[in-house]
Amino acid sequence: MERSVAIALIVLVAFSFGCGKSERAPEKAAKASAGPSGDKSFGLPDEFPKDVPILKNATLKATISQGDRMVVQLHTTSSIREAENFYLTTLKKEGWTVAEPSNSGDMTIVSAKKGNTLCSVTIAREGKGTLIRLLISPVRS
């Protein structure tokens, strides 16, 4: 049940991007410079914001982008609570204004804003691990 909720959420976000999206598999993603996690070998698109943290033991699964919006999907062996605490703490350290997380059992959403950029982190159980979905988009008025 939880897996299908997580998959449905990811599909919904993917469809919200509409036509013209560009998708990269992890092996084709460009190498990014070291982010807040300090891991220099982690492959991310070049346009991924350097001030959005990546959990140290996370594995890149996919990226989807269209224009100024981007979704990065990660998998980790960390628990939902560990990932939530990491993003709450590290986003604040990077200067993001973080809202109170929204928890619903096996899923947590952490929302943050910095300047004209929004970062939504959805953390959900996936099998024996945890799925992390980072949605980066501009503030829309």
Q: Which domain holds residue 34?
A: 2-138
What is the reported pLDDT for 42?
57
One-letter amino acid of 92: K
φ and ψ at residue 121, rounded to 5 degrees: -115, 115
Query: Is the distance from CB of 132 to CB of 122 less than 8 angstroms?
Result: yes
CATH number at residue 53: 3.30.310
What is the reported pLDDT for 37?
46
**122: which strand partners?**
109, 133
As a whole number of angstroms, the distance between CA 71 and CA 91 comes to: 17
- The whole-number average pLDDT for the span 40-66 is 86
- Of the pLDDT bands very low, low, confident and very high (cuts 50, 70, 90), residue 104 is confident
Helix (H, G, I), strand (E, B) or coil at 120: strand
Say how many domains are in the chain.
1
- Of residues 2 and 76, the one with the higher pLDDT is 76
The pTM score is: 0.72
